[in-house]
Every structure is written in C-alpha cells, then in structure tokens.
Amino acid sequence: MAVLGLISDSPKGILVGLYNIIIAPDILLTDYIAVGGIGATFINAAILAFANIYILYKLKLKVNGTLIATTLTIIGFSFIGKNIFNVWPIYLGGYLYSRYQNMNFKNVVLVVMFGTTLAPLVSETAFGLHVPVEVGIPLGIMLGILAGFVITPLSSHMVRVHDGYNLYNIGFTAGLLGSVITAVLRGFGLIIEPQQVLSSKYDVILKVILITMFILLIILGYIVNGKSFNGYKKVLSYSGRLVTDFTQLTGYGITYINMGIMGLVAITYVVISGGVMNGPTVAGVLTIVGFSAFGKHPKNAIPILIGVFVAGITNIWEIDSTMVIIAGLFGTTLAPLAGAYGWLIGVITGFIHLSVVMNVGMLHGGINLYNNGFSGGIVAALIVPLVDAFKKGD
C-alpha cells in the first residue's frame, strides 16, 4: 500500500491529502479517497498498518484469528474514518485503563484496536462541531481518551446481549456508547451533521488490486497447507459464533485459503449489486477477509448477503447504493446465526438487518464506524431468543 501510494501521487499531493484527511469530520460516510486522493489514502492505511503491527510485535502477541481480523479491519477503515491523528487518543485511553487495573496492556490491546471505531468522535469534535480549534482539538482528544478507557469493560458485558452471534461485538458496544455521547453533545447544542462523501474514480483499479491480493492469499494458503486444499471442508462445519479462531482450529494454510475465497465472494457481491469500489466498500471487503480468520466462511456468510440483497430489491433503498452494499458486506457480522440455525434464518436475518442498519445510525450520529456491528447486536439479541423459543416449542 505504501508503494501504491507513492506511485499514485506526488509527495506534495500526498502531504496535502493527508492534511485534508486529518481535518475531515470523518463521520459515516467519509470516503478518504474522495477527501484526500488515493495516494494519501494508501499512505494513511500503510502507516496505520505498520504502526499496529509494530505494537503487536512489541507486545509479543502471536498471530491468531483475532489479530488478523483486528489488523485487516483497521487497514480497511483507514479508507474511511480512521487516520494517523484520530486513533491515538483511543489507544491512550485503553493504555490508561490497563494501568488503572494493573494489568498488562497486551490483555486489552485488541479490544482497544477495535475500539478505534469511535475515532470519528475525535475528529468530529476537533474539526466538525464549529467550535474554536483551540477548544475542539483538546476536547476531541479527551473524549477519545475517555472512549478508549471505557470500551474494554463495556465490551465484555455487551457480548452477553447477543450471546456471541454478532462478530462485531465492539461495534455494538461503541454504538451504545456513541449514542450516549452524541445525545449529550446534542444537549449542549452541538449537532453532528450527516455526511456522505464518496468516490467512484478508482473502481476498476481497486478491484484489480483486491482480486490479485485474494488470489495470492489462496495460493499462499495452498502452499502453507502442503500444496493441498484438504481440510477446507472442516471450516464450513463451524457456526462461526464467538470465539471461532480458524488459525487454531484448522491451521494457517486453510485460514488463508478461506480468507482469499471470502474476499472473492465479497467482490462478487459488489459486482452483482452493481456497486463501485470506493473507500467504504474496500473497508467492507477487507473486514470480511479479516474475519474469515475468525468466524466467517461462505456457508454462513452468503445467506446473510442474499438476505440483504433481497431486502435491497424489495425495500425503498437502491440496491446499487454504497449504503446498501456495505450493509451486506458488514452485515456478515451476523454470519454465526446462519451457521448455527441454517441458511433460511440467515436470509431472514440479512433481510431484517438492512432495515435496522439504515435507521440506527441517527442514534450515534455516525461517530461509530462499525454501524453494522451496532445493528447486528440489536438484530441478534432479538432473533436468537425467538429462534430458540420456537425450537423448544417444537
């Protein structure tokens, strides 16, 4: 990505683009490719990728499914909402929490990394609320630190609500926390304005880059797995419910194969829907690939995609709109429901998810980047007990 960034724009253009990315409000949907250009966006993603991998390296954490999911999610959202300025207050808050509890930072770092879903809170407060910069920047940093401090204890409790059937548990947690923070800001007359800045210029280029990456992942997995696809069927036997770490259950080779296949499935969904590849869709595709090491596979994810697609055709929204497409991509957070209860429940879940996700964003004002995780927690919390109740009734 760093190389792609450097060949896509001049050094001056990249610096100007990074500046524009940093001062953008960053609430959903703010496509960094449209804001700062593709060169600066690649550099932003590369810097955050290197920084996060270095943190994990220094903490001596072994690469597993959670770590892969975390890292690729951060890289994906470096195209929409997370940048080299707004994530660090949340890390600081998480570190302070670990010090307060006298625990090693490595025990909470992955939760904190996912917690950067609230990074737009920092940018929006600093640059988007029409308050003086000398007030906005310190306030944004303080709110980011607060969010990072509380996200870990909150997330451990929130998983009980959806019983592990929503893979983006931090998105659900951040949705609730973000809704409270947004409500408080609104109480002081600080209104977060809706945002939709999207690009369409680099559709073909991004598809070629991603498809190449996913094919290479499959080849890598094939080699690591002893030049064989043997064992892949085992992946399909898991529901995907938290915690399902394919690196531990099936090995790295099979995990890489699954990641590559799921990446191609995600690209296919975008193409069938008639959408374009831009910042949000790249984020959605890379998040799917990351979580294909941690719960997602074709058998449990495709029913969700079908459900969202059917809802997009029959509901009032345009099936080829970026909002509907990413609702499908990120909606695979609910894949464990299809894995545990069958494809029909998966399709129904995806159908319901689209309507919910298109409405819950107004609660947190777009400061929670994992809006589908918020929606997924709500949908899972309703569907799981209902399905269980009917099963028991039988």
pLDDT at 249 over 60: yes
Residue-wise pLDDT tens digits, 2-26: 999 999 999 999 999 999 999 998 8
Rounded alpha-carbon distances, angstroms, from residue 328 to 78, 268, 277: 20, 12, 14
Residues 258 and 375 in one domain: yes
* Residue 376, in any domain of the structure: yes
* Residue 196, in any domain of the structure: no
Band of pLDDT at residue 128, cut at 50, 70 and 90: confident
Closest CA to 167 of 296, 342, 300, 349: 296
pLDDT at 393 over 70: no
Least confident of 214-218, 255-259, 308-312, 314-318: 314-318
What does the mean pLDDT of the chain come to?
94
Question: Which pLDDT score, from 0 to 100, does residue 166 have?
Answer: 94
pLDDT above 90: percentage of residues in the chain:
86
Band of pLDDT at residue 160, cut at 50, 70 and 90: confident
Residues 173 and 59 in one domain: yes
pLDDT at 310 over 70: yes
Residues 141 and 241 in one domain: no
Stretch 245-253: mean pLDDT: 97
Residues 110 and 222 in one domain: no
Residues 179 and 245 in one domain: no
* Residue 110, in any domain of the structure: yes
* Residue 318, in any domain of the structure: yes
Of 154, 187, 220, the last residue of a domain is: 187
Band of pLDDT at residue 222, cut at 50, 70 and 90: very high
Domain extent at residue 73? 2-187
* Residue 24, in any domain of the structure: yes
Residues 311 and 222 in one domain: yes
Residues 293 and 162 in one domain: no
More confident residue, 258 or 130: 258
Residue-wise pLDDT tens digits, 333-352: 999 999 999 999 999 999 99
Residues 147 and 21 in one domain: yes
Stretch 296-301: mean pLDDT: 98
Residues 21 and 159 in one domain: yes
Beta carbons within 8 Å of 189's beta carbon, 6+ residues apart: none
Residues 179 and 248 in one domain: no
Closest CA to 366 of 197, 201, 161: 197
Residues 11 and 126 in one domain: yes
φ, ψ of residue 90 in degrees (nearest 5): -70, -40
φ, ψ of residue 49 in degrees (nearest 5): -65, -50
Question: Which pLDDT score, from 0 to 100, does residue 156 have?
Answer: 84
Residue-wise pLDDT tens digits, 49-102: 999 999 999 999 999 999 999 999 999 999 999 999 999 999 999 999 999 999
pTM of the full predicted structure? 0.95
Beta bridge partners of 197: 30
* Residue 291, in any domain of the structure: yes
Of 134, 152, 187, the last residue of a domain is: 187
pLDDT at 107 over 80: yes
The number of folded domains in the chain is 2
Band of pLDDT at residue 392, cut at 50, 70 and 90: low
| Single-letter residue type at 181 | I
Question: Which pLDDT score, from 0 to 100, does residue 194 have?
Answer: 74
* Residue 195, in any domain of the structure: no
pLDDT at 357 over 70: yes
Q: Are 257 and 232 in contact (CB under 8 A)?
A: yes
Q: Could you give the CA distance from residue 240 to residue 291 in angstroms, rounded to a whole number?
A: 10
Give me the DSSP letters along 341-384. H-HHHHHHHHHHHHHHHHHHHHHHTT--S-HHHHHHHHHHHHHH
Residue-wise pLDDT tens digits, 176-210: 999 999 999 889 887 777 788 999 999 999 999 99
Q: Count CB neighbours of 80 within 10 A.
A: 29
Of 161, 187, 213, the last residue of a domain is: 187
Question: Which pLDDT score, from 0 to 100, does residue 28 have?
Answer: 83
Band of pLDDT at residue 390, cut at 50, 70 and 90: confident
* Residue 194, in any domain of the structure: no
Residues 262 and 319 in one domain: yes
Beta carbons within 8 Å of 62's beta carbon, 6+ residues apart: none
pLDDT at 391 over 80: no
Q: Are 311 and 285 in contact (CB under 8 A)?
A: no
pLDDT above 70: percentage of residues in the chain:
99
Beta carbons within 8 Å of 275's beta carbon, 6+ residues apart: 281, 320, 321, 322, 325
